[in-house]
Amino acid sequence: MTYLLSVFVTASLLFTPTKSSKLEINIVGLESNSGKVLVLVFNESTGFPEDDSKAYKFLELSISNKTAKGSITDIPAGTYAISALHDEDGDGKMKKNGVGFPTESFGFSNDPSILFSAPSFEKCSFTVKEGTPKQISIKLK
């Protein structure tokens, strides 16, 4: 009996799940209530900011009062970066003008300044700590 108890205690210590967290995302600066806000959450630089096949999570958020809110529960501790797009026409793609500049609003975590190209994962990254909720607000441009 003592042997079985020690095996059970040892096994339970080996398989203790890590505490996850909740990530709350608030998107502001929308120009209208039309369409949806598409959010990509990345946990590595590969594919950032727009390759949805490389994203950790994809969220499609409804808009109310020119704001969109969403959350991810049970997100593991780690480093993340977010890109967001106000998909006003609902086609699932970023509309661009003739020279390739976006015509729909977009933004990134940490609200970095944007010059001639999308910011890096590193500029947009933030840390989610184990068991600690994290709130991110992104202002679309």
Over 62-127, what HEC string results?
CEECCEEEEEEEEECCEEEEEEEEEECCCCCCCCECCCCCECCCEEECCCCCCCCCCCCHHHHCEE
- The distance between the two most distant Cα atoms of the chain, rounded to a whole number of Å, is 76
Residue 132 belongs to some domain of the structure? yes
For residue 129, what pLDDT is reported?
97
Residue 106 belongs to some domain of the structure? yes
Mind listing the pLDDT tens digit for each residue in 28-74? Answer: 999 999 999 999 999 999 999 999 999 999 999 999 999 999 999 99
In the predicted model, what is the mean pLDDT of the chain?
89
Give the total number of structural domains in the chain.
1
Residue 22 belongs to some domain of the structure? yes
CATH number at residue 28: 2.60.40.10
Residue 33 belongs to some domain of the structure? yes
Mind listing the pLDDT tens digit for each residue in 74-92? Answer: 999 999 999 999 999 999 9
Mind listing the pLDDT tens digit for each residue in 87-130? Answer: 999 999 888 888 878 889 999 999 999 888 899 999 999 999 99
Q: Which amino acid makes up residue 56?
A: Y
Residue 1 belongs to some domain of the structure? no
Residue 9 belongs to some domain of the structure? no
